[in-house]
């Protein structure tokens, strides 16, 4: 066991299995109304153009589409294909306060507390509560890690309360996450397992481990309710986010009570599939918001061309080389394993200004 308080590692997936999952997803997306409008994006496009294959260390597959109001039905279309994992819409509420999120957090935590399960608020929600003393409006999901719970027992209760908005996710042969989609807000309940001196749980394609000696729990007040967080949250957040005390977003002052979707996300057997929405920013650029705001040139994706990848039909930008150079720089043909968008993306733009611009029009 490492002496690190917290560390994460990539879940090892057989490359042949990843390719089969990718091919299956292409068949699904090609059966929807966006089959002629989407394109391969980000690392997925980079691998296909540069390496003529899926990048071996990549565990998420990226698709993109220009957002239109009719895309609101895409989630229902994909749900009708009976994907074997959770399928959710992730976006941002534009109200001044994240009241829906507050209510949902407390509703979920009351269920867990009544069952006497040990848990702690995790991820971006923990970060926001510690740094900003509230749920920031940039928070768009609720992650909770449960340390001693019975997933089947909780799942039975979730089914009764939330009807069709839940999904049980199976990692390999063992279920380790419940995903609930409430009012466009995804809730992830991760179940940690005991590994000698550590607890281990799975988030996306990563395995997280936390040394038990540091995992004592403390309670803080939130909306007159006591919620649990790691007592050693400073070191925990530092391991997760680096310089976590720096604000991630400068959120715009908007109160038009809209929900702006940024992507549709699905996870299937350890692989994440994202369909990102790009919005018109100005006459020359499109913008998307995950997790930072960045732009692409409209003329790079104005025309799409059909490409055959692993014997399946897909779309790529006709100006793929220019697109990738604009996105990743002149050295985009040189592989970089530790690419971090918030640090390395070439086309970051002001989140506040860009989001306010598009929220007034959608």
Q: Structural domains in the chain?
A: 13-91+275-359 (3.30.460), 97-241 (3.30.460.40)
Greater confidence (319 vs 348) lies with: 319
Residue 179 CB burial class (10 angstroms; 0-12, 13-18, ≥19): buried
Choice among 162-171, 175-184, 269-278, 303-312 with the minimum mean pLDDT: 162-171
Instruction: Select the highest-mean-pLDDT range: 57-66, 83-92, 159-168, 304-313.
Output: 304-313
At 285, the pLDDT band (50, 70, 90 cuts) reads very high
- Considering the chain, what percentage of its residues have pLDDT values greater than 90? 14
- What local confidence, expressed as pLDDT, does residue 13 receive? 63
Residue pLDDT, tens place only, 223-244: 788 889 988 888 888 877 777 8
Omega before 291 cis (within 30°)? Answer: yes
At 123, the pLDDT band (50, 70, 90 cuts) reads confident
- What local confidence, expressed as pLDDT, does residue 173 receive? 47
Choice among 59-73, 88-102, 146-160 with the minimum mean pLDDT: 88-102
Choice among 94-98, 100-104, 136-140, 182-186 with the minimum mean pLDDT: 94-98
Residue 150 pLDDT exceeds 90: no
Please tell me the distance from the alpha carbon of residue 299 to that of residue 304, in angstroms, as a whole number.
Answer: 11
Residue 300 pLDDT exceeds 90: yes
- What local confidence, expressed as pLDDT, does residue 2 receive? 38
Please tell me the distance from the alpha carbon of residue 324 to that of residue 353, in angstroms, as a whole number.
Answer: 25
Can you tell me the mean pLDDT for 194-205? 79
CA angle, 131 then 132 then 138, to 5°? 105
- Considering the chain, what percentage of its residues have pLDDT values greater than 70? 81
Can you tell me the mean pLDDT for 336-352? 72
- What local confidence, expressed as pLDDT, does residue 9 receive? 54
Residue pLDDT, tens place only, 46-89: 888 988 888 877 778 899 998 887 777 787 778 777 665 567 77
Neighbouring-strand partners of residue 313:
308
Can you tell me the mean pLDDT for 273-281? 91
Choice among 53-67, 93-107, 112-126 with the minimum mean pLDDT: 93-107
- What local confidence, expressed as pLDDT, does residue 165 receive? 54
Please tell me the distance from the alpha carbon of residue 30 to that of residue 37, in angstroms, as a whole number.
Answer: 10
At 322, the pLDDT band (50, 70, 90 cuts) reads very high
Please tell me the distance from the alpha carbon of residue 60 to that of residue 49, in angstroms, as a whole number.
Answer: 17
Residue the block writes with tokens 């990738």:
324
At 3, the pLDDT band (50, 70, 90 cuts) reads very low
What SS3 string covers the chain? CCCCCEEEEECCCCHHHHHHHHHHHHHHHCCCCCCCCCEECHHHHHHHHHHCCCCCCCCEEEEEEECCHHHHHHHHHHHCCCCCCCEEEEEEECCCCCHHHHHHHHHHHHHHHHCCCCEEECHHHHHHHHHHCCCCCCCCCEEEEECCCCHHHHHHHHHHHHHHHEEEEEECCEEEEEEEEECCEEEEEEECEEECCEEEEEECCEEEEEEHHHCCEEEEEECCEEEEEECCHHHHHHHHHCCCCCCCCCCCCCCCCCEEEEEEEEEECCEEEEEEEEEECCCCEEEEECCCEEEEEHHHHCCEEEEEECCEEEEEECCHHHHHHHHHCCCCCCCCCCCCHHHHCCCECCHHHHHHHHHCCC
């Amino acid at each position: 066991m490492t002496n690190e308080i917290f560390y994460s590692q990539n879940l090892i997936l057989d490359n042949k299995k990843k390719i089969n999952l990718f091919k299956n997803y292409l068949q699904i997306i090609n059966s929807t109304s966006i089959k002629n409008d989407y394109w391969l994006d980000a690392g997925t496009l980079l691998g296909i153009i540069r390496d003529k294959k899926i990048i071996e260390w990549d565990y998420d597959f990226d698709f993109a589409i220009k957002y239109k109001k009719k895309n609101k039905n895409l989630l229902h279309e994909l749900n009708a294909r009976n994907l074997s994992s959770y399928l959710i819409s992730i976006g941002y509420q534009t109200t001044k306060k994240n009241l829906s999120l507050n209510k949902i957090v407390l509703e979920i935590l009351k269920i867990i507390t009544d069952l006497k399960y040990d848990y702690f608020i995790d991820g971006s929600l923990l970060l926001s509560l510690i740094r900003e003393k509230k749920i920031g409006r940039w928070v768009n999901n609720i992650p909770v890690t449960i340390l001693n719970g019975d997933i089947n027992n909780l799942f039975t209760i979730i089914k009764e309360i939330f009807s069709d908005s839940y999904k049980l996710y199976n990692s390999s042969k063992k279920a380790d996450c419940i995903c609930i989609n409430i009012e466009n807000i995804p809730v992830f309940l991760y179940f940690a397992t005991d590994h000698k001196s550590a607890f281990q749980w799975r988030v996306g394609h990563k395995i997280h481990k936390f040394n038990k000696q540091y995992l004592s729990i403390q309670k803080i007040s939130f909306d007159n309710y006591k919620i649990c967080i790691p007592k050693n949250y400073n070191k925990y957040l530092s391991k997760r986010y680096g310089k976590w005390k720096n604000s991630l977003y400068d959120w715009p002052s908007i109160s038009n009570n809209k929900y702006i979707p940024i992507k549709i996300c699905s996870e299937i057997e350890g692989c994440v599939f994202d369909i990102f929405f790009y919005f018109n920013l100005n006459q020359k650029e499109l913008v998307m918001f995950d997790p930072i705001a960045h732009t692409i040139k409209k003329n790079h994706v104005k025309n799409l061309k059909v490409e055959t990848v692993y014997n399946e039909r897909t779309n790529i930008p006709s100006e793929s080389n220019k697109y990738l150079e604009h996105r990743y720089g002149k050295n985009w043909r040189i592989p970089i394993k530790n690419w971090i968008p918030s640090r390395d993306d070439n086309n970051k733009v002001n989140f506040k200004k860009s989001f306010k611009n598009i929220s007034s029009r959608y």
